[in-house]
Structure 1
Amino acid sequence: MSTRAHAKTEKTLNTGELSTAAVPEARYFNRELSWLAFNRRVMEEACNPAHPMLERLRFLSISGSNLDEFFMVRVAGLKGQQMQEVEAHSTDGLTPGQQLAAIVADASNLVSSQQAVWHEIRSALGERGIEVLDGDALTGEIAQWVEEHFRLQIFPILTPQALDPSHPFPFIPNKGLSVIFDLVRASDGEAVRELVLLPAATPRFVRIPGDVARYVSVETLLKRFAPQLFPGFEIRKSATFRVLRDSDIELEEEAEDLVLYFRTAIKRRRRGRVIRLEMEEGIDPGLEAVLKEELGGSDALLTETGGFLGIGDLASIVEEDRPDLKFSPYAARFPERIREYDGDCFAAIRAKDIVIHHPYETFDVVLAYLRQAASDPDVVAIKQTLYRAGKQSAVIQALIAAAEAGKSVTAVVEIKARFDEEQNLLWASALERAGVQVIYGFTSWKTHAKISMVVRREGDEFRTYCHFGTGNYHPITARIYTDLSFFTADPRMGRDAAKIFNYVTGYVEPQDLELLTVSPRHLRERLIELVDREIANALAGKPAAIWAKMNSLVDPVMIEKLYEASNAGVEIDLVIRGICCLRPGVPGMSEHIHVKSVVGRFLEHSRIWAFGNGKALPNDGAEVFISSADWMPRNFDRRVEFMLPILNPTVHDQVLDQVMVANLIDTEQSWDLQPDGRYVRDEPGEKPFNLHRYFMTNPSLSGRGAALESSGAVPKLSLRRWRAERGA
């Protein structure tokens, strides 16, 4: 049975309805509203009864952190356009002002939903022995303990500041949480206004010792014990507020020293224009007026929030040691075929291409590959791209070890990776000190391709081993992002990889690539060729189909090409986790296009594209590609990306018949996008299928070696069967 044949729940999520109402024949959903709809789907997982309670809290906190970043970057950009009176229209025809108005309305509804969900989860956690206390609940022994804790641990780091002509309003940093007070001095009755900024290094919650997990927020303690901070004053009014600032870094083309420019820009970011001012519900009008005046209220987007400011900070409670309230742990598998070669990654890769499906299969295999390269005396050179590597990166340590062992090591460090710029600069310095040749890539483009290349002396020749990833070289996110790691010793791919590195390090444009396609040169054009072939097949009466999985679909050129393919009769199934500007299921425009989004325990991050190639049976000739790119203008025009064909039959079957099909048939974590912009959650149906649970409990095809033949434990999925059941 098709996922679309299942009955749908009544709960729906909206995106783009403003533009739909204004332009009934609109061809696109608004990018920003589509993102807000995605974040609502994330928040909805906090209401999913199938998830343990602390995991539901984790989803809620993620939705809060996501929304913060959205305001700091996307809304900041639109606000800047509005202030500069730039009336550029979005693809769906909205001006910056119209988009901001729609965003404010949608975001306000989302924030209200977050607060309601937090109220529900907080109550449920209390029933399970995890309490978040208000000031009124601090009584008896608890009150004594928190008072002492405040006096010894919090009071010394607080700095109250008077607000008067001789004490100007202090700078509030990005994400800064503060409490403003209206006081009256007892000695003379004079009114005094004070502000206390909560230091960023201070944990948001204090855990009270005991078997029952009791938490209290720092701002609750500050308000409760304000008399200790302001002796001799009467506390009349107080209010908590929070600030979000413009955090995007605009690269100036004339920047002569990219490293110096970003070091300066990171400092400027902390003082960016206020984009959003959050205030607690019921704030005194006088205090509100002061905050608006001092924090650019005329330009900032204002939010009056009830319950809790900074939903993302709830993540600290998720760390409570309560395994009964979290997902059951599982151990990621190490590829059996590499074990058959006694852990020799190069021997295993040399024998046959391998694809690793993270996080179900461990990222340790990537680290083992790099560590072996670092210690192998026959390895002469390593080249590596680094987009996001994390703060505790074993990848960096392996590259340093290789350089110290005398190997030629080149690292392309992308210092323009948003919110990782500072960490990447630190890694670049460490790598350079170890003797690694560090390259920062293009000034105006980001190097987003994930490629590692190892050159090894074998006899009288050199052999190149390559790793291509759909995700970052980040050991932490590799545990929660679903991505593909592809290992090969195919000399054609090795030659192509070398040309891509030369492109980034020396601006030598790659000519005559044998297998790979790269942006910003020919990636969009190559995809258009593949879609055109499916159109030609459909018009010729041959089977024609496209299956694609990605994070975002925004590029209008590709959307129009998919519309053309739909009108020609090509069956198109898209799995798009986040932003989708394409409007599916519209008669005469996109009636053969189906779009779904999967949101669950893991973040779907792999990019997989498959084209039927005129074959009745997909396994007999469908072309399958993996990539580092989404279908967005930035990926096609302003980033170095790769698209790689999967040629090995076993790997081909795993990517197409396992990973792709599992996403298509999932019913427990899936939302279907409707023509009017609503996302409708799938009902599990009589035979529910959860793709994340499936891959946690079933081994993959690739990398299994002899174990595959002996066990027979191969997942029974098939794109062929799925198409037949759907009637395609």
Structure 2
Amino acid sequence: MNASPDLPADRFLNRELSWLDFNARVLTLAEDPRLPLLERVKFLAIFASNLDEFYMVRVAGLKRRLTMGLTMHSPDGMTHREQLEQVAARGGSLVARQGRCLAEDVLPALAAEDIHIVTWSALGKADQERLRAYFRDQVFPVLTPLAVDPAHPFPYISGLSLNLAVLVQAPGDGPERFARVKVPNNVPRFVTVGPGRYLPVEELIGAHLDQLFDGMTVVEQVVFRVTRNADLDVDEDRDEDLLQALERELARRRFGPPVRLEIAAGVSDHVLELLIRELDMDAHDVLRVPGLLDLSGLWQVYNATDRPDLKDRPFVPATHPQFAEGETPKSVFAQLREGDILVHHPYHSFSTSVQRFIEQAAADPGVLAIKQTLYRTSGDSPIVDALVAAAQAGKQVVVLVEIKARFDEQANIGWARTLERAGCHVVYGLVGLKTHCKTALVVRQEGAVLRRYCHVGTGNYHPKTARLYEDFGLFTADPEVGADLTDLFNQLTGYSRQTGYRRLLVAPVRMRPGILERIEAQAALGSEGLIQFKTNSIVDEQIIDALYRASQAGVTIDLIIRGICALRPGVPGLSETIRVRSLLGRFLEHSRVYRFGRTDPEYWIGSADLMHRNLDRRVEALVRVTGDASKQALELALDLSMADDVSTFELDGKGMWSRRAAEGPNPQEELLRRMNA
């Protein structure tokens, strides 16, 4: 980080604590009684899944650096140990808050709607008898109790698995013995007792421990769960075959060191001390959980409960007007020859825009080549199917599959092999860099001319998440963008060292300098300047410092940050003209939009957040949006998020988030209304 002696040393917020603040905002939605009840259940599940990943990656990274003896301080001045201590305290308070939300608010509200998460003891005899048979036939055969004694070492506890720690005792006052029973992951998390009634599977197993420990008395049983380091360590310079190296690391992931122990709050000191000792963990790694563990399993309740009245009203994504098929349907290519088209998912349909673009390219005899990046896609991807069909039809198909996409590595290895078998040219990007940009290039023969058609987006080529994630995508036949994408793919697939582009800013070489130059240009305008960013996270110190200086010059700066924000807004003399908001709702805000200027503003969209990993360790691309209609759509999205009367979260200079205009409309609902008008 470059020193900035003219700016205060305490100008940055801690990124790990800022992420926990983001997840606290997710929890606030679960606590909101105005939301449909099952949507609140969904947000509890999202909160739990988010926290799992945070511990697997971010906390694991802090622990690894601490173990290695690295003494670097974070930009806000904290040591690794201090950050871990604060994360433990903050994480514990959030988990306690999550437990209260479930037990005191959501479960009673569900019960009032005749939806119940029940205990074994609350079941009637008929239900218990039926579930005893289910246990005997479906669960008991796959259970394996593992004793711990001098002849049986403590078993390996796989990451994120649910387990029962059991103390048993032989008749006649024999010594207590410890055993572990793993809850199998091939049975449902919740057993359906009847319509709207669900029994946690660990309750079912706990009620039948006498069958596992015949002749013994069960003294104590407690549910626990271990989170392990899930970061991968692949030496791309050493490993000649990246695919094989990554597969080796994926096999090792489940054996990563433990970073968190979640355990039911009622655990005895004896059992807790035994687990901490055997897992080689510290007391501050423990989260005592009131009530149910692993609330990510609530997705099952959400999906299995057929109560439309308790969920968000369904909507059908609209086909973008320029892609709508009239009496004489035009091809995507004919439409793009008339001008650029900007789509806004999920309000605009993915299937009738992005998917149609790739499918028409695959089927069109005039198309000679398709080049595309794939970071994440779905299990039954029509995009991959279209690329396979194009290769089988004799077209040149080049696909950059990012096999290092976190938690999608195994799926992407599978896609890579499928595409290779079909005859596609599959590459894995540049050594030492993840390829995160979202780009597609179609080369089409039109008479004596080769014309290039392009898509540059902010989201993945993933049909399912395109209905849940908010993203923009630009379609264009502009020759400059076509030339830029050609150069970019040559860099990704060959040895080109291209750095200069026409309508693209590409990381890791030119994106940060390009953004800084534009911030400085606005700073030169003083109070006439305007900067608006919409992004997932802002952490990069150079960009934050540039924004501080622009604010000191009087520039109006609006930041819409879904997740991590290390910048302090509204600080007198430092950031008085900066506002920071966070928008959460039924869709996950995922787009990255960058606006510079009031009159004739520049708009850029793309894949990059303002973080070190995006700007320094990934191939990212931003494209300049030039069409008037496209710029107006971006302006509307930014203005709706910054309006005075909308429901958002707002950050103050002390790092505290508060709900703003909670009674007001959510910008997402307003966009839905406008699309359906």
Distance 2:662 2:219 in 1: 54
Equivalent position of 2:220 in the other structure: 237
SS, match of residue 168 in structure 2: strand
**Structure 1 stretch 487-496 or stretch 82-91: which is displaced more?**
82-91
TM-score by length of 1: 0.89
Shift of 1:25: 5.8
Q: Which residue of 2 aligns with 1:400?
A: 388
**Distance in 1 separating the partners of 2:404 and 2:644:** 35
Secondary structure, counterpart of 1:129 in structure 2: coil
| Counterpart check, 1:52 vs 2:52 | no
Within the candidate set 346, 349, 355, 1:359 is matched to 346
The answer for the alignment partner of 1:651 in structure 2 is: 630
* CA offset digits 1:134-187 (Å, max 9, x no partner): 122022222112111111111111111121122211111110111121112348
Match of 1:369 in 2: 357
Contact 1:346-1:465 at 8 Å conserved across structures: yes
- Whether the 8 Å CA contact 1:600–1:669 is kept in 2: the answer is no
Distance 1:191 1:547, change over 3 A: closer
Matched with 2:607 is 628
Q: Deviations over 1:355-387 (max 9, x none)?
A: 111001111021111111111111110000001
The answer to whether the 8 Å contact 1:583/1:677 transfers is yes
Tell me, in whole angstroms, the C-alpha distance in 1 between the residues paired with 2:495 and 2:555.
Answer: 39
Cα pair 1:274 1:300 within 8 Å, conserved = no
Aligned AA for 1:241? F
After superposition, the C-alpha distances for 1:676-716 in whole angstroms (9 at most, x for unaligned) are: 1111111246xx3321111112139xxxxxxxxxxxx6xxx
Q: CA 1:666–1:271 in 2, change beyond 3 Å: closer, same or farther?
A: farther
1:384 aligns with 2:372: yes
Residue-by-residue CA offset, 1:320-367 (whole Å, 9 max, x unaligned)? 111111001011001232214615111111111101110011110211
SS in 1 for 2:525: helix
Cα deviation for residue 223 of structure 1 reads 1.0
Q: Does 1 or 2 have the higher relative contact order (CA < 8 Å, sep 6+)?
A: 1
Q: Is the 8 A contact 2:227 2:259 kept in 1?
A: yes
Residue of structure 1 equivalent to 2:438 = 450
Instruction: Please give the alpha-carbon distance, in whole angstroms, between the structure 2 residues aligned to 1:113 and 1:81.
Output: 30
Decide which moves more: 282-291 or 115-124: 282-291
Q: Which residue of 2 aligns with 1:718?
A: none
Corresponding residue number in structure 1 for 2:160: 175
- Once residues 653 and 203 of structure 1 are traced to their aligned partners in structure 2, the CA distance between those partners, rounded to angstroms, is 47
Match of 1:690 in 2: 666
Q: CA offsets per residue over residues 87-138 of structure 1, 9 Å max, x none?
A: 1111111110010011011101101011011112111101101100112202
| SS of equivalent to 2:576 | coil
Following superposition, the deviation at residue 625 of structure 1 comes to 1.1
Indicate if the aligned counterparts of 1:276 and 1:302 stay in contact, CA closer than 8 A: yes
Cα separation, 1, equivalents of 2:566 and 2:281: 32
One-letter code aligned to 1:676 = K
Which of residues 223, 226, 240 in structure 1 aligns to 2:206? 223
Partner SS state of residue 146, structure 1: helix
One-letter amino acid matched to 1:104: A
The residue that corresponds to 1:146 in the other structure is 131
**Separation in structure 1 between the aligned mates of residue 270 and residue 515 of structure 2, nearest angstrom:** 58
User: Could you tell me whether the CA contact under 8 Å between 1:251 and 1:444 is conserved in 2?
Assistant: no
After TM superposition, the structure 1 stretch with the greater mean CA deviation from structure 2, 146-155 or 66-75, is 146-155
Q: CA deviation at 1:289?
A: 2.0
Matching residue of 1:326: 311
Other structure's SS at 1:698 match:
helix
Note if contact 1:258-1:443 (Cα within 8 Å) is conserved in structure 2: no
2: CA distance, partners of 1:561 / 1:583 = 13
Match of 1:681 in 2: 659
User: What secondary structure does 2:475 align onto?
Assistant: strand
Query: How far 1:507 sits from its partner (Å)?
Result: 3.0
Distance 1:511 1:25, change over 3 A: closer
Matched, 1:475 2:463: yes
2:406 is the alignment partner of 1:418: yes
Cα distance between partner residues in 2 of 1:456 and 1:24: 55
**Percentage of matched positions with identical amino acids:** 42
Q: What amino acid is aligned across from residue 653 of structure 1 in structure 2?
A: Q
Report the alpha carbon displacement of residue 667 of structure 1 after superposing the two structures with TM: 4.3
The 5 Å alignment of 1:73-88 reads: 73-88=57-72
> Structure 1 residues 667 and 231 mapped into 2: Cα distance closer, same or farther (>3 Å)?
farther
Task: Say whether 1:439 aligns with 2:427.
Answer: yes
Residues 18 and 565, structure 2, Cα contact 8 Å, conserved in 1: yes
Equivalence map 1:578-727=2 (5 Å)? 578-612=563-597, 618=598, 620-656=599-635, 658-665=636-643, 667-684=645-662, 688-699=664-675
Say which is worse superposed, 333-342 or 437-446, in terms of deviation.
Answer: 333-342
Q: CA deviation at 1:191?
A: 3.8
Whole-Å separation in 2 of the counterparts to 1:637 and 1:379: 35
Q: Report the equivalent of 2:260.
A: 276
Correspondence 1:568 to 2:553? yes
CA distance in 2, matches of 1:453, 1:271: 40
Q: How much has 1:194 moved relative to structure 2? A: 2.0
Match of 2:89 in 1: 105
Give distance in 2, aligned partners of 1:507 and 1:71: 37
Question: Is 1:549 matched with 2:534?
Answer: yes
Q: Superposition pairs for residues 496-507 of structure 1, below 5 Å? A: 496-507=484-495
In structure 2, C-alpha distance between the alignment counterparts of 1:155 and 1:137, rounded to whole Å = 22
Per the alignment, residue 720 of structure 1 pairs with: none
Number of residues paired by the alignment? 665
Tell me, in whole angstroms, the C-alpha distance in 2 between the residues paired with 1:559 and 1:695.
30
Say which of 336, 343, 355 aligns to 2:321.
336
Distance between the aligned counterparts of 1:188 and 1:92, measured in 2?
A: 56
State TM-score, norm by structure 2: 0.96
Shift, 1:33, TM fit: 0.3
Residues 640 and 646 in structure 2, CA contact (< 8 A), matched pair in contact too: no
Partner residue, 2:514: 526
RMSD: 1.7
Which secondary structure does the structure 2 equivalent of 1:468 belong to? strand
| Mapped partners of 2:273, 2:620: distance in 1 | 49
| 1:31-50 equivalence runs, <5 A | 31-50=15-34
Larger displacement relative to structure 2 (507-516 or 390-399): 507-516
SS of the residue aligned with 1:600? coil
Shift of 1:218: 0.9
Partner Cα separation in structure 1 for residue 133 and residue 500 of structure 2: 71
Q: 1:420 to 1:146 in 2, by over 3 A?
A: same
Contact 1:599 1:669 in 2 (8 A): no
Residues of 2 paired with 1:327 and 1:288: CA distance? 41
Higher deviation after alignment, 34-43 or 658-667:
658-667
Unaligned runs of 5+ in 1: 1-22, 613-617, 701-712, 714-728
Q: Which amino acid aligns with 2:233?
A: E
Give the secondary-structure state (helix, strand or coil) at the position aligned to 1:554. Answer: coil
SS at match of 2:259: strand
Q: Which amino acid aligns with 1:45?
A: L
**Partner in structure 1 of residue 475 of structure 2:** 487
C-alpha distance in 2 between matches for 1:607 and 1:409 = 28
Cα deviation 1:596-617 (Å, max 9, x = unaligned)? 11111111111111111xxxxx
Alignment-derived partner of residue 70 in structure 1: 54
Counterpart amino acid of residue 218 in structure 2: I
1:260 matched to 2:260? The reply is no
Deviation at residue 416 of structure 1 after TM alignment? 1.0
**C-alpha separation in 1, matches of 2:463 and 2:288:** 38
Q: Find the aligned partners of 2:330 and 2:101 in 1 and give their Cα distance.
A: 48
1:131 equivalent in alignment to 2:116: yes
